[in-house]
Structure 1
C-alpha cells in the first residue's frame, strides 16, 4: 500500500498520486498536507523533549497559495517554549516560497477524568449511513483515497464517517492526532452547499481544537457549510471517533460563482 507522501530527507518530501487535488488534480489536496505538518511538529517535539511530551491541542493552518504536485520542504521551530505550554510552528515551502503554515499549541496532559464531558452532538453509527463515493462529484487522487459513509441532510449539511486508505508516510508511525488532522479538510467537499460546477469555494485556512486523544481508523464529521452574500463562507465541523466527539474544526472559504 503506497502512502500519501515519500520522505526524501529530514526536511524534504514529495507527494504521491493520492494527494491530487479536488479543484485541480495537478495541485496537491491540502487535507493530507495538513496531516503531514502535524506529524512533523510532533516528531520535532518528541525529539526535543522525550521525557515530558506535550500534546497538540490546537492546530491553526494558513494556506498561502496552491501547491503543485512536486517536491517541497518543511521547517519547524518553537515560537514560545515552555514546560507545560508551547507554541510551535511548521512552514511548508515549495521552490523557496512559503505555501502552508501551521501554528500549534502543545499542552500538558493532566488527569481531569472526574470532570470530563462535552455537550457536542454525537454521530450516528457507521452502519446506519450509506456508503458514498465522493469521486462521483470531485476529481483527484486524494478524493479517491478515502472511504466515506455519508448522511446528506440538505445543502451545506451532512454527517459522515471517513477513513483514509493510505498512511501519510511509508514505514513511519503517525499519531492518531496527525491522522485525524489529515482528514478534516475533506469536510468542505463532503457537505456541499452547491455543486463545484456552480461555484469555487476553496478554504484559506483551517483551525482545529482537539480535547481528547483520537482513536481508531474512522473519524466522524458533523458538518455545516454557510455562504454569506458577499463572497465569504464558513465550514464548521464537530469531529468524532467511534467513542464520541473529540473536537471541532472550522474553515474560512472564498466563494466565487462560476
Structure 2
C-alpha cells in the first residue's frame, strides 16, 4: 500500500488507499481525504489574478468507496473580482461528492485586519488522544492527534490538533488548504457526545469559510456539536494554525438511533 491517501492513475483518476478508510462502514472512506482531494482540484484551476478561496462547501452525495475515484473541476462562473469554482468526485460512474468554492481577488487590507481571536495551546502542549473502542479505520491512524482540551475519546466539546502522517497524493507535498480540509471534516467526531454504538451522528456536508491560508503541518479544531429535537444537529469548529484562527467550519448532521437506520 502506498504511503499516501491517494495514488494518481492519470487522467484525473486516483486510487484510494486503506489510509482513507473511515470508522462508519467497512470499505468506505472518511470524508477528510475526499474533501482535501476536491480542494486540490479547485486549487489547480488557473486564476487570472491573485486570489484566495474564501468559502468551500463539500456536499456528500453518497459513500466514497476505498477504490478508484475520477475527478473533474472547472470554473462555473468566471469574474474579475469573484469566481465560482466546482469540482466533483465519482466512483464507478456514480457521483459521490461535489465541492463549490468562491474565489475572491485579493488586495492589501492589513491596515484594517481584525484580531482573529485567541490562540489554542500549541500541539506541543497537547497529549495524544485515544479513540472510542468501536472506532476503527486507516484514516484515524494516518493522522497524528493531540488534544489540548477534552479529547476524542471523551464526550463533549473538544480542541485538538491534527497532522497528516501521509501526503494527500503520493509524491506531492500537501498545500495548506489541503491539510486543513483533510482535518476539518472531523469536527463532529472530535466533539461527539453520543455513543457511536447506539447513535449515528454523520454529516451530509462540510462548509468552511476562510480568512487566510493556513501555514504549517498542524491544523487545530476547536469543535462543538449541538443536537435539536428532530434528528438534526450541527457541528461547528474554529480552525487554527500555529498563528491563530484561520476560519470556521460547519457540518449539518443526521442524528438517529442505530436501530432506526435504513433511510
SS in 2 for 1:183: helix
1-structure distance, mates of 2:252, 2:10:
33
For 1:135 and 1:52, locate their aligned partners in 2 and report how far apart those are by CA, in whole Å. Answer: 46
**Partners of 1:91 and 1:101 within 8 A in 2:** yes
Gaps in structure 2 of 5+ consecutive residues: 259-263
Structure 1, 238-247 or 65-74: larger mean CA deviation? 65-74
Q: Take 1:236 and 1:194, find their aligned partners in 2: how far apart are those partners?
A: 16
Alpha-carbon separation, structure 2, partners of 1:212 and 1:234 = 24
Shift of 1:134: 2.9
Give the equivalent residue in structure 1 for 2:197.
197
- How many residue pairs get aligned? The number is 254
Calculate the aligned-residue CA RMSD, in Å: 1.7
Cα deviation 1:73-117 (Å, max 9, x = unaligned):
111121110122110001111122111010001111111111112
Q: Whole-Å Cα distance in 1 between the matches of residues 132 and 216 of structure 2?
A: 24
Off by >6 Å, runs of 4+ in structure 1: none
Q: Is the 8 A contact 1:135 1:143 kept in 2?
A: no
Counterpart position of 2:14: 13
Partners in 2 of 1:119 and 1:244 — Cα distance? 7
2 CA distance for matches of 1:171 and 1:95? 25
1:147 is matched with which residue? 144
Quote the residue 1:163 is aligned against: 163
Q: 1:173 to 1:144 in 2, by over 3 A?
A: closer
1-structure distance, mates of 2:132, 2:83 = 39
Report which stretch shifted further, 187-196 or 56-65.
187-196
Deviation at 1:187, TM superposition (A): 1.8
CA deviation vs aligned residue, 1:51-92 (integer Å, no higher than 9, x gap)? 624221111011011111111111112111012211000111
- Displacement of 1:252: 0.4
What per-residue deviation string (whole Å, max 9, x for no partner) do you get for residues 212-253 of structure 1? 121001111110001112111100000000100110000001
Distance (whole Å) between structure 2 residues aligned to residue 110 and residue 53 of structure 1 = 8
Check 1:238–1:12 CA distance in 2 against 1; reply closer, same or farther (3 A cut): same
Question: 1:22 matched to which residue of 2?
Answer: 23
Q: Is 2:81 aligned against 1:96?
A: no
The yes-or-no answer on 1:58 pairing with 2:58 is no
Match of 1:183 in 2: 183
Mapped contact 1:135–1:144 kept (Cα < 8 A): no
Q: TM-score if structure 1 supplies the norm length?
A: 0.93
Cα displacement string for residues 117-137 of structure 1 (whole angstroms, at most 9, x for unaligned residues)? 235343123233321133745
Counterpart for residue 76 of structure 1: 73
Report the 3-state secondary structure (helix = DSSP H, G, I; strand = E; otherwise coil) of the residue aligned with 2:202.
coil
Deviates more, 1:126-135 or 1:69-78: 126-135
Cα distance in 2 for residues equivalent to 1:67 and 1:3: 17
- Aligned equivalent of 1:250: 250
Q: Which residue of 1 aligns with 2:36?
A: 35
TM-score normalized by the length of structure 2: 0.91
In the alignment, the residues of structure 1 paired with residue 87 and residue 50 of structure 2 have an alpha-carbon distance, to the nearest angstrom, of 18
